[in-house]
Amino acid sequence: MIYGGRASGLLYLSPYLVGLAVFTLFPFVASLLLSFSDYRLQDALSAAQLVGFENYAAIVHDRTFGKSLVVTLVYVFVTVPLKLAFALFIAFVLNFRLRGINAFRTAYYLPSILGGSVAIAVVWRYVFAGDGLINQALAVLSANPVNWLGEPAYAMVSIVLLRLWQFGSAMVIFLAGLQGIPADLYEAARLDGASHWQVFRRITVPLLTPVIFFNFIMQVIQAFQEFNGPYVITGGGPLKSTYLLPLMIYEEAFKYFEVGYASALSWCLFVLVAVFTALAFRSSKHWVFYAQERGEGGQ
């Protein structure tokens, strides 16, 4: 149903148009400009000078940035596959006529709701503290306690586990995707004599690829923007071993007041995410299988 009146249509869209211009496009362009400036936060805006690619040149030589970049990439490329694999696994286990399926789904989904909060990050700090929950558990298993938050090698584990703990939202989406596969396909395959593994490989996985792709993109983008965990639990340390890029950008802008530099950093992050997303979309043509054309109903 399409209503006539382009003017009305524009009126309905007007909040979005204003918001897009004021809160998205303008800041977007402004941040690019700022990245070419030497602006410091406490100055008046008029004092800012354009300095060309100075900030970007500085980034290339910045050891901290190098460390942050590596740490961020490790974080993303470790958490995303693990989280997706685990979510998919649990979705499979759950996709059965089990009693209490809703209770389980709730139990797994709950951490996703709470996990992004400061409260949980705070709790996490104690879970990984010297005499916190994890080390208590290790003690029960007669293993030695680990200095999670004090050792550069182990601090990352705490924030990785925080993200993995929130696999529930991805799992719910996978579950819905699994339940959307028509049962007749499985029956037909079974009648044709297919084994469980064959069914999994040739029916389930191909039909799940759109959902996997969607989850993949969403998880990567969220992972690149993780802030609460590092900020609250580790402060980016020890020795910048958990100094994810969003945290670095925040500190450069609001702790060291180097707005120009921070803007350049944020654009590096943006380009990184954009390139990655574009590659993912391009690759999707080869492995994502859409079972039905958009716009068709039924079938």
* Interacting residues with other proteins between 227 and 266 (CB under 8 A): 227-228, 231-232, 245-246, 249-250, 253-254, 259, 262-263, 266
Phi, psi of 128 (to 5 degrees): -100, 10
In the complex with other proteins, the residue whose CB is nearer, 8 or 283, is 8
- CB contact at 8 A, 54 and 35: no
- Report if residue 11 touches other proteins, rule: CB under 8 A: yes
Question: Is 56 or 104 the residue whose CB approaches other proteins more closely?
Answer: 104
Does position 123 interact with other proteins (CB under 8 A)? The reply is: yes
Residues 175-204 interacting with other proteins (rule: CB under 8 A):
176-177, 180
Considering the rule CB under 8 A, would residue 80 count as an interface residue with other proteins? Answer: no
89: Cβ–Cβ under 8 A, 6 or more apart, which residues? none
CB of 263 to other proteins, least distance (A): 6
Please enumerate in sequence order all residues whose Cβ is within 8 A of that of 214, keeping only pairs 6 or more positions apart, or say none.
173
- Of the candidate residues 219, 267, 284, 288, the single one contacting other proteins (CB under 8 A): 267
- Cα atoms in the 13 Å half-sphere on the side-chain side of 216: 19
Please identify which residue in 65, 69, 83, 132 interacts with other proteins, judged by CB under 8 A. 132
Closest to other proteins by CB, 136 or 198: 136
Applying CB under 8 A, does 2 fall inside the site for other proteins? yes
CB-hemisphere CA count at 13 Å for 76? 24
Judged by CB under 8 A, the residue of 27, 66, 81, 182 near other proteins is 27
* DSSP assignment letter at 143: P
Nearer to other proteins, 173 or 203 (CB): 173
The single residue among 60, 117, 198, 256 that binds other proteins, judged by CB under 8 A, is: 117
Does 56 engage in binding with other proteins (CB under 8 A)? Answer: no
- Contact flag: residue 283 with other proteins (CB under 8 A): no
Of 72, 90, 105, which is closest to residue 229 (Cα–Cα)?
72
- Decide: is 18 part of the binding site for other proteins (CB under 8 A): yes
Is 85 a binding residue for other proteins by CB under 8 A? The answer is no
SS3 label, residue 79? helix
> Which residue is associated with the tokens 């149903």?
1
Structural contact between residues 173 and 214, judged by C-beta atoms closer than 8 angstroms:
yes
Beta carbon of residue 241, minimum distance to other proteins (angstroms, whole number): 20
Q: Quick one: which segment of 57-65, 76-84, 110-118, 183-191 binds other proteins (CB under 8 A)?
A: 110-118
User: Does 24 engage in binding with other proteins (CB under 8 A)?
Assistant: yes
**Residues with Cβ within 8 Å of residue 223, at least 6 apart in sequence:** 75, 76, 79, 80, 163
Residue in 82, 189, 221, 238 binding other proteins, rule: CB under 8 A: 221
Name the minimum Å distance from CB 18 to other proteins: 5
Residue 131 burial (CB < 10 Å; 0-12/13-18/19+)?
Answer: exposed
Q: What is the CA radius of gyration of the chain?
A: 24
Helix, strand or coil, per DSSP, at residue 232: helix
